[in-house]
Amino acid sequence: MIMFARVSTYRPGPGSSGAPSDETVRRVLGLPGCLGIYYLLGKDNKSLSITLWGDEEALSGSKQQADNIRAETSAEQHMQILGVEEFEVLTQQLAD
């Protein structure tokens, strides 16, 4: 199965956990073609969100709504958006 991913990089501000709200997660998962979401917090005060998409059309079709959600969430969570990149997922495997 071919999937696509959008990876957004953030720098949480002072007092921000970098964690999304349940509402943010619900909004992202509600976008057509979204298959999942991961949020990661690194030790270097950077966080990542990784969203997975069923096809390239869903990825590109979600861009404007995702941009809006990202901007709103970043303002609420006091996070700086460092970058947004899109990828084709070449391998997907989880251990049993």
65-90 tens-digit pLDDT: 999 999 999 998 889 999 999 999 99
33-74 tens-digit pLDDT: 999 999 999 888 899 999 999 999 999 999 999 999 999 999
Closest CA relative to residue 14, chosen from 93, 78, 72: 78
Spatial separation of the C-alpha atoms in residues 53 and 62, rounded to whole Å: 9
Strand partners, 82: none
Spatial separation of the C-alpha atoms in residues 89 and 42, rounded to whole Å: 22
Spatial separation of the C-alpha atoms in residues 33 and 52, rounded to whole Å: 8
Spatial separation of the C-alpha atoms in residues 70 and 49, rounded to whole Å: 10
